[in-house]
Amino acid sequence: MPTHSIPYQNTGYFSKLMCDYLAEDENLKPFYNRFPNLENFKKQLDEKQKNFTEEKRHLLAKRIMFQYGDNSISQSTLSNIDLLKEHTTFTITTGHQLNLFTGPLYFLYKIFSTINLCEQLNNKYHKNHFVPIYWMASEDHDFEEINYFNLFGKKVKWNRNTSGAVGELSTEGLKEVKEQLKKEFGESENAKKLIGYFKDAYTKHTNLADATRFLANCLFYHHGLVILDGNDPELKKCFIPYAEKELTENLSFKKVSETTEKLTNLGFSEQVHPREINLFYLKENLRERIIEKDERFYINETNISFSKEEILKELHEYPERLSPNALLRPLYQEEILPNLCYIGGGGELAYWFQLKDYFEAVQIPFPILLLRNSALLVPKNLSEKLKNLNTGIEELFLPQHELITKHTYKISKLKIDFSKQKEFLKKQFKDLYLLAEKTDVSFLGAVGAQEKKQLNGLENLEKRLLKAQKRNHSEEIERLKNIQNQLFPNQSLQERQLNFSEFYLEFGEELLDVLKENLDPLDSNFTVLEL
């Protein structure tokens, strides 16, 4: 299958922070532990091994098995869960929201990046085992971010009133979505398979976390993926000491603020703003911020409040009721997992860069950070059309107005560039300036004004000629625009807009096989795959 790579910095879609990180810029080295290459994982596992107990390993394996319930578990996943008890086993983790039907296409890229990295590490370090983990973001509460996915240019949306953590949300109303999808998908064998996935996930499970686990387990059944829900009362007990520091010392706020200031002084943006308390209070239909005022702890948007003694008692008796926000979730994750590396998108890794000093303060090893694979899937018919237009895939990453201008210059039989005429004009005025200096100083201003007027005139003529050529070649330009619009919906990366189902309808399970085969997590380039 044809595939090639484009450096991330050449795509125009990745932040300066990510591009500098991939280039191993010296300024960023204080904000991470080790750069992601195979050799650095040996040092990382040695460090983690000293900081992770056998007791935690057994608890983790036990709770994961409990969470799977009556789900069918592949032999490779069962083996990986059992291996978590061994002191030579480590995890590679990615996380994702509980988006309806996986949400954007990059859900697959994240998880295959994680699975493939584990395979590379298992091949490199034979005395150790490496287990891929998908951490479900079941404690998120922003339903509007996850209640839809895009299909054929339209939103498939799950409408309902909600509150609280999304993982506990009832799947009520998703039968209606299934009926809508049956009409959209059609009657092909691949369509029936997709409807089967949706039906079995969302109409046979009572909450969104269980539905998402079932779906991810089906999609990655043969690859040993282990799915973990951090919203677990037994696992939350491990988080009690850190939650206590958060409530009594505001430790993360102090440390993360210091690190963030260093990052912003280097010209990078703050991804997540730290709060004095980076915890939510979590109960049925409720997940709200904890705010301290005058030595009392208030639950935002409610009448609930606690004294210091009361909230610490609540923490120790019901640790599941304290929920880490985006800045504390990484710490909780690294506390309960023998984890070496977190794989995420650019936005996710940006807030990890704010956390290094905090991890050091609480003496938890900071994981290796790896930018997940990004890819563009190009159907063969579009690839052929691009060849006919003599246009490379790389050009489609340009903003559309730049793409059209560049293509017009390329195909125009007339020379649109007036650079030679401008240079000639400047030489003529150079002589006039010399003449003006010998006559009257006031004449210099008139010469300068005339030069500017003439150059502006040439600029306008060049723009008018370009516009005329765009009109003359409008049919070809329109074909090029249509191709870009299909591959970059809404002038955004395909992976952020489309759902996997659009490709699955055509390619079926082969889609997953192609991604598994072609995504190399340690290749610091954007992948283009021609299907």
Main-chain dihedrals φ then ψ at residue 188, nearest 5 degrees: -65, 165
Helix (H, G, I), strand (E, B) or coil at 284: coil
Q: Report the pLDDT value the prediction gives residue 297, as an integer from 0 to 100.
A: 98
Among the listed residues 270, 252, 329, the one whose alpha carbon sits nearest the alpha carbon of residue 93: 329
Q: Report the pLDDT value the prediction gives residue 177, as an integer from 0 to 100.
A: 98
Q: What does DSSP assign to residue 156?
A: E
The beta strand positions in 245-399, using DSSP E, are 279-283, 286-293, 296-299, 305-307, 322-324, 339-344, 368-371, 375-378
| Residue written as token pair 């960023």 | 28
Give the sign of the dihedral formed by CA 282, CA 283, CA 284, CA 287: negative
Measured CA to CA, the distance from residue 117 to residue 516 in angstroms comes to 11
pTM as predicted: 0.93
Token output for 517? 């085969």
Token output for 183? 């009409």
H/E/C letters for each residue in 200-229? HHHCCCCEHHHHHHHHHHHHCHHHCCEEEE
Measured CA to CA, the distance from residue 449 to residue 443 in angstroms comes to 10
Which residues on neighbouring strands pair with residue 134, listed in sequence order?
94, 227
Q: Report the pLDDT value the prediction gives residue 418, as an integer from 0 to 100.
A: 67
H/E/C letters for each residue in 393-430? HHHHHCCHHHHHHHHHHHHCCCCCCCHHHHHHHHHHHH
CATH architecture of 3-169+223-238+326-374: 3-Layer(aba) Sandwich (3.40)
Measured CA to CA, the distance from residue 194 to residue 149 in angstroms comes to 14
H/E/C letters for each residue in 225-241? CEEEECCCHHHHHHHHH
Q: Report the pLDDT value the prediction gives residue 10, as an integer from 0 to 100.
A: 96
Give the sign of the dihedral formed by CA 172, CA 177, CA 178, CA 179: positive
Give the sign of the dihedral formed by CA 138, CA 142, CA 143, CA 144: negative
Cβ atoms of 487 and 11 closer than 8 Å? no
Q: Report the pLDDT value the prediction gives residue 21, as an integer from 0 to 100.
A: 98
Q: Which amino acid is at 295?
A: E
Which helix or strand (DSSP H or E) is residue 261 part of? helix 251-265
C-alpha 399 chain-centroid distance: 21
Residue 367 buriedness (CB in 10 A; 0-12 / 13-18 / 19+): buried
Which residues on neighbouring strands pair with residue 305, listed in sequence order?
298
Q: pLDDT of the chain along its 531 residues, tens only?
A: 568 899 999 999 999 999 999 999 999 999 999 999 999 999 999 999 999 999 999 999 999 999 999 999 999 999 999 999 999 999 999 999 999 999 999 999 999 999 999 999 999 999 999 999 999 999 999 999 999 999 999 999 999 988 899 999 999 999 999 999 999 999 999 999 999 999 999 999 999 999 999 999 999 999 999 999 999 999 999 999 999 999 999 999 999 999 999 999 999 999 999 999 999 999 999 999 999 999 999 999 999 999 999 999 999 999 999 999 999 999 999 999 999 999 999 999 999 999 999 999 999 999 999 999 999 999 999 999 999 999 999 999 999 999 998 998 888 877 777 677 777 767 877 877 777 777 776 677 777 788 788 778 777 877 787 787 888 899 999 999 999 999 999 999 999 999 999 999 999 999 999 999 999 999 999 999 999
Provide the residue ranges of all domains of the chain, joining segments of one domain with +. 3-169+223-238+326-374, 382-509
Measured CA to CA, the distance from residue 266 to residue 317 in angstroms comes to 43
